[in-house]
Amino acid sequence: MPRGFLRPEDRESLNNFPSTIEENDLITHFLLTPGDLAQVKMNRTETQRIGFAVSLCGLRYLGFFPQDIETAPDNVVDYLAKQSECNPVSLVSYGQRLRTRQEHQSVIMAYLGFDWFAEDQKIHLFQWLSQRSLENDRPSTLLQQASEWLYKHRIVRPGITTLEALILESRQAAHQLTYDQMAQSLNHDLETKLNQLLQPDHERGVSPISWLRRPATGYGSKDILQDLEKLQFVQMWSIDEWPLTHLPPRPSQTTGPNSALLKHSGDTTQACLSTVSPSHGVSSRDP
């Protein structure tokens, strides 16, 4: 299984503030309420007040504490500094003592009703993501859904690499579940026929499964006849009669010969399933 699906620069940006925050978002998410100001003013120094204010609004806006608080855009820092009557430059000195940041984070979480991402919540999120992966296993979609789930349950989003690993594990679990459920529908004769799809066809020069997956190269009569031949070949399998109604319409965008499941199982039958079943798998090169 790959270690991650994000580039290093993407991970860094997703662990911090966005580079720009529009005026509407600034007013909506960074306007300090009387209750916010009371929390901010409990801190003695300007550095502590501006750092506390940025951290508070950062969690409320992003759902996590940015790793580098100085990535907050200038308009955010200026807006919060004006409300808390601080010098924006004071933010540079914030967090020199790790304990100060940790204490502030605990106070902010209690104030906003957030909890840290604990082991039991990790299990719940994994199970939830595994179900979502059956519907759409695109990593970027799952990352967005996981972030929304965490925010909805008032859980501080963990580091992005932690979510990456959880998403990849949930996708693998969904692939395994898909293949397990499909395998239950196979009898010995059908399994034998599926395995034969991987055997070389000397007339075509390739295996039947490779021939089926080969796209048309043009729009001429020869290309049309070849596609009709493939259609007739697939129709002989009566795939529409297979008992697969217990599976989602499109359980995976990536189940196929290159899936992690196939690498672990070595069962050639699984390589055929996603190619010959038109509504329960497509071969994709996406990660």
Residue with tokens 């000397």: 202
153 Cβ contact partners less than 8 Å away, ≥ 6 residues apart: 121
Provide the pLDDT confidence category of residue 27 given band limits of 50, 70 and 90: very high
Torsion, Cα of 96, 59, 138, 181 (10° steps): 110
Residue 268 has a pLDDT of 39
Six token digits for residue 281 = 């798998």
Judged by average pLDDT, the poorest of 27-41, 106-120, 268-282 is 268-282
Give the global pTM.
0.72
Q: Within 13 A of 273's CA, how many CA atoms are on the CB side?
A: 28
- Predicted confidence (pLDDT) per residue in 114-144, tens digit: 999 999 999 999 999 999 998 898 999 999 9
Can you give the residue ranges of every domain in the chain?
8-112, 119-183, 188-276
Alpha-carbon distance of 237 to 193, in angstroms, equals 9
Alpha-carbon distance of 15 to 25, in angstroms, equals 19
Summarize the confidence of residues 184-202 as an average pLDDT: 83
HEC string of 101-141? HHHHHHHHHHHHCCECCCHHHHHHHHHHHHHHHHHCCCHHH
Judged by average pLDDT, the poorest of 45-54, 104-113, 187-196 is 187-196
Provide the pLDDT confidence category of residue 280 given band limits of 50, 70 and 90: very low
- In a 3-state reduction of DSSP, which class is residue 162? helix
Six token digits for residue 12 = 């860094």
Judged by average pLDDT, the poorest of 2-11, 70-79, 254-263 is 254-263
User: Which ranges constitute the DSSP H helices of the chain?
Assistant: 8-14, 23-30, 34-40, 46-62, 74-84, 98-112, 119-135, 139-152, 160-183, 188-196, 208-213, 221-235, 260-265, 268-276
Residue 248 has a pLDDT of 65
Quick count: other Cβ atoms within 10 Å of Cβ 169? Answer: 16
Across the chain, what does the average pLDDT equal? 84
Summarize the confidence of residues 257-261 as an average pLDDT: 30
HEC string of 71-100? HCCHHHHHHHHHHHCCCHHHHHHCCCCHHH
The pLDDT of residue 38 is above 60: yes
The pLDDT of residue 182 is above 50: yes
Six token digits for residue 99 = 């304990």
The pLDDT of residue 13 is above 80: yes
Residue 255 has a pLDDT of 40
CA angle (265 as vertex; 263, 267 as ends), nearest 5 = 105
Summarize the confidence of residues 179-192 as an average pLDDT: 79
Provide the pLDDT confidence category of residue 241 given band limits of 50, 70 and 90: confident
